[in-house]
Amino acid sequence: MYLGTVMKIPYQLLISLFVCSLAGGLILSANYYHTKYQDEKRRADKSEKSLGLAKQTISDMQTRQRDVAALDAKYTGELANAKATIEQLQRDVAAGTKRLRLAATCSGVSSITSTTSVDDVAGPRLTDAAQRDYFTLRERIETSRKMIAGMQAYIIQQCLK
């Protein structure tokens, strides 16, 4: 009888140990997979945050590109208008419908009045080369003004944001 009771205890003990080890294994594996899940969730959240930041950056860049294109179009149009005005003025001066006015004194003419005589009835005027240079300089000045104004607007609207 003693042997019969000894036999029952080890089976119960073995079954208890088996059940406990099975439960412990399940707990350990559940803990392992739960930790893995949390790590992956953190990684996914971090990726979503990075993706959101990237989308925001792309959107900002697209907005800035549109703004820069609008600035470029504005100042390119103004420059084209200024050049067209200068070219029209040059054509008008060449055709004689408009004249260039300048403040000049005639060299070789004394300021002391002497006997009245008409030596040279024509007023002071630019030479043909000086007249061409005048229009070239006007165009370059206008181009520079428009370029500077465009760069200032770009700096204010894009770089200082």
pLDDT, one tens digit per residue, over 7-57 is 555 677 788 888 999 999 999 999 999 999 999 999 999 999 999 999 999
Residue 144 lies in a domain: yes
| Total structural domains within the chain | 1
Inter-residue contact 65 to 158 (CB < 8 Å): no
The tokens describing 94, both together, are: 């060449």
Characterise 120 by phi-psi region: left (phi > 0), alpha (psi -120 to 50), beta (else).
beta
Q: Give the residue numbers spanning the domain of 148.
A: 63-104+124-161
Residue 2 lies in a domain: no
Residue 154 lies in a domain: yes
Half-sphere exposure of 28 (CA within 13 A, CB side): 6
71's CB contacts (< 8 A; 6+ apart) are 150, 153, 154, 157
The CA angle 41-46-51, to the nearest 5 degrees, is: 125
pLDDT, one tens digit per residue, over 50-106 is 999 999 999 999 999 999 999 999 999 999 999 999 999 889 988 888 887 776 666
pTM metric for this prediction:
0.56
Residue 83 lies in a domain: yes
136's CB contacts (< 8 A; 6+ apart) are none
Residue 56 lies in a domain: no
